[in-house]
Amino acid sequence: MVNVPETVSAKKARVSLHLPRKTRSETFSYIGREGHGTLKIALSVLVLGLSIGVIFGPSGDTHAGLSTPLPTTMAAVADAAPIRDGRAQRKSTPVALKSNGARKPTDTPASNHVQTAPVLEPAGELIVASVPPQAKPEPKKKRDLKVRSGDTLMSIMLSAGIRRDDAHDAVSALRTVYDPRDLRVGQRISLTLSDNGLHEMVLDPSVIRQIAVRRDDATSFRAFEVKRTLTRRVKFAEGVITSSLYKTAVARKVPLSVLAEMMRIYSWDVDFQREIQSGDRFEVAYEKFVDDEGVDVRHGEVIYARMILSGADKPLYQFKSRTGVVDYFDNKGRSAKRPLLRTPIDGARLSSRFGKRRHPVLGYTKMHRGVDFAAATGTPIYAAGDGVVSYRGRKGGYGNYIRIRHAGGFNTAYAHMSRFNSKVALGTRVRQGQVIGYVGSTGRSTGPHLHYEILASGRQVNPLTVKMPSGIKLGKQAFARFMAKRANIDALVANLQKETLISQR
């Protein structure tokens, strides 16, 4: 700050500012008497002093006499000029001044004049202040739900706490790519929630198809479909049967769906209730499909199976015809499928064999012309083969009874049913494995079971030992293709066995 020497006249002018009005008048009269020139000099110095006070007042120590000093720290500057979006506010705003506890000066006209001087913000100067970090948005919450019996998509969303308007808009968007009525029991639905409500909904109609509904803005949703890319792999398992095939297979981590398929393709030739013994062996190679992260998504078909039962080797290979029909054949190209099933029921216990026996109700020895399978009431009963229903109804001691006529002069009979399948009537054409009725204890019976008969040319034969006609026969060209496919499968299985042995070391 420049120091200006104070003249006698200026000093008089400064002193006069603190004098009462009457005293100042007398003083100026005195100065006037001293001379007109002296008066001009005094007035000029007075104006100069006031101008210097206005210009230099906001800086340095010249405002030490103010009752409220200007902010001198960055925090005070930040209070005076708020920052938005990381840039300095260029708009002039009133500055809230804070007291620093300085002694309040005498309230004089001169000090009042200085306090009302405007505070000027330097033009073009960028004020940088520390800004507290913005609060992070609330993390999104995810809920994984499963469709239960009686659920609708709306009821699922509302029970999960979704606002009704969000749920309605999301379902409306979903309808553009997927019908919500196609939801099935057990299907999984993933909901992602945010502070604004529903953010995203994802459901999987199939293992290779995914539907997503995502919020576009505050009031609208958009639905789109994502098709998964799955990688096919072949898995191999083998084991020595101890107490049961089921327990051994589960211990070797064979999926239940694969085990059920393996038992199905052997069901024409193997009685799993009676032929499996401790020490028998099994092998199975099956497909599995994984996603991009290597996670198992689903299991596919059995491509190879082998059972060694009491020393008898029974390998089966999957083979697809040119028309797309998939079947299983032994190592000589003979179809595993037979026209009739020996056991047209799952999970049953053989309670009575074919032949003479003491009748449990009549009490005397009588020829038993079929086999009995004990099972819980309501257990499904399957058609043993393709054919036409020739009898359906009540039949004496057989109770509820169905007979099916098959090709090749064969008939099958099913007795003591609790009820029939309502879709199966007299004259209905049925397919092998189709449910025709349910286990019961009608007629002459001591408990729920299935009495099963096979009739060859009208005569009852032993269902467990009768020689069944072969199934599909391969032609010359098909047989050559099958043998090539078999060689590829044998090589694949050999490699998988080596990998299994290495992993177990």
Question: Looking at the predicted structure, is the pLDDT value of residue 103 above 50?
Answer: no
What are the structure tokens assigned to 469, written together? 């006609």
What are the residues whose beta carbons fall under 8 Å from the beta carbon of 504, sequence distance 6 or more? Answer: none
Which DSSP symbol is given to 341?
Answer: -
What angle do helix axes 8-16 and 36-56 make, rounded to 10 degrees?
70
Higher-pLDDT residue of 31, 255: 255
pLDDT band at 442 (very low <50, low <70, confident <90, very high): very high
Map out the domains of the chain with their CATH numbers: 1-64 (no CATH), 142-227 (3.10.450.350), 230-338+471-505 (3.10.450.350), 349-461 (2.70.70.10)
Q: What is the pLDDT of residue 51?
A: 58
pLDDT band at 229 (very low <50, low <70, confident <90, very high): confident
- CA proximity to 401, closest of 387, 388, 385, 389: 389
Tens-place pLDDT, residues 23-58? 444 544 444 455 555 555 556 656 566 555 555 555
As a whole number of angstroms, the distance between CA 371 and CA 349 comes to 11
What are the residues whose beta carbons fall under 8 Å from the beta carbon of 192, sequence distance 6 or more? Answer: 140, 141, 142, 143, 198, 199, 200, 201, 202
Whole-structure pTM value: 0.53
As a whole number of angstroms, the distance between CA 7 and CA 5 comes to 6
Query: pLDDT averaged over the chain?
Result: 77
Lowest mean pLDDT among 24-33, 272-281, 336-345: 24-33
What are the structure tokens assigned to 130, written together? 């520390």
Cβ 421 vs Cβ 404: under 8 Å:
no
As a whole number of angstroms, the distance between CA 347 and CA 354 comes to 19
- CA proximity to 276, closest of 313, 305, 310: 310
